[in-house]
Amino acid sequence: MLTIFRKLLLVLPLVSLSTMAAELPGDPAAGEEIYIDVCEECHQLDGTGENGATAGDFVNDKKILSQSNEELLQTIFDGKGDPIDGMPSMRDELSDQEMKDVLSYIRQTFGS
Ligand code: HEC
């Protein structure tokens, strides 16, 4: 009994940390419009980026959305990978709030 209780005490902070990471930083409804306008072209409406062929696959590549909001917002701001075929920087495209909104839409729609 005591050991189970101890294990729970160890696991609980981890669980709350991971739900914290998945908290929505903005408004997913506003983000939907941005996603369709700016991201869908590469990431596709279903979020798979044609299984990663045209962009990061939010649905099957669980590593992507397991990152924190801070990390993902930084990547959206800076871009990632190849300057031509990679993820373009949204620095001049979207405001900070729009990046938060679109990340919220992605988490809510494609996160598990
Ligand atoms: C021109 C095509 C293109 C557009 C437009 C695009 N992306 Fe991407 N995105 C990519 C590619 C390619 C990758 C994979 C980059 C890599 O891992 O090297 C990617 C990866 C990502 C990742 C995962 C980064 C990681 O840590 O692995 C996120 C998050 C992301 N994109 C968000 C967005 C958002 C939000 C938008 C719209 C505001 C957007 N992308 C628009 C091509 C695009």
pLDDT tens digit sequence for 62-85: 999 999 999 999 999 999 999 999
Rounded distance from Cα 80 to ligand 1 centre (Å): 7
Ligand 1 centroid distance, CA of 13 (Å): 31
Rounded distance, CA 63 to CA 60, Å? 9
Ligand 1 atom 34: residue of nearest CA? 39
Q: Is residue 76 lining ligand 1, measured as CB closer than 6 Å?
A: yes
> How does the average pLDDT of the chain come out, rounded?
89
Summarize the confidence of residues 36-48 as an average pLDDT: 98
Cβ atoms of 74 and 99 within 8 Å: the answer is no
Q: Hey, what CATH topology would domain 2-110 get?
A: Cytochrome Bc1 Complex; Chain D, domain 2 (1.10.760)
Hey, where are the domains in the chain?
A: 2-110
| d(C-alpha 98, C-alpha 28), whole Å | 10
